[in-house]
């Protein structure tokens, strides 16, 4: 089971690296960061996940303190 999690972590890290490369290439070719963010948010709902994570983090801080 330990090797299964290593494979999953490796796939996630590769996906994050590819995403960073795509954003970098987009920035180098003249794309605006607001346009890149809007495209990513339209497709993957990044803002929704970010808001969810911050809400859960705030809830955990209030419950654990």
The 10s digit of each residue's pLDDT in 3-40 is: 888 999 999 999 999 988 888 888 888 878 888 788 88
Show contacts of 12-18: CB within 8 Å, 24+ apart. none
Q: Would you say the pTM of this structure is higher than 0.75?
A: no
Instruction: State the Cα–Cα distance between residues 41 and 13, nearest whole angstrom.
Output: 20
Instruction: State the Cα–Cα distance between residues 63 and 65, nearest whole angstrom.
Output: 6
Can you give the residue ranges of every domain in the chain? 2-64
pLDDT band of 41, cuts 50, 70, 90: confident
The 10s digit of each residue's pLDDT in 43-54 is: 888 889 999 999
């Amino acid at each position: 089971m330990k090797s299964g999690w290593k494979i999953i972590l490796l796939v996630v890290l590769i996906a994050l690296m590819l995403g960073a490369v795509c954003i970098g290439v987009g920035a180098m070719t003249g794309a605006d960061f607001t346009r890149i963010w809007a495209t990513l948010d339209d497709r993957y709902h990044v803002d929704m996940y970010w808001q969810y994570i911050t809400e859960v983090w705030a809830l955990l801080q209030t419950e654990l303190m």
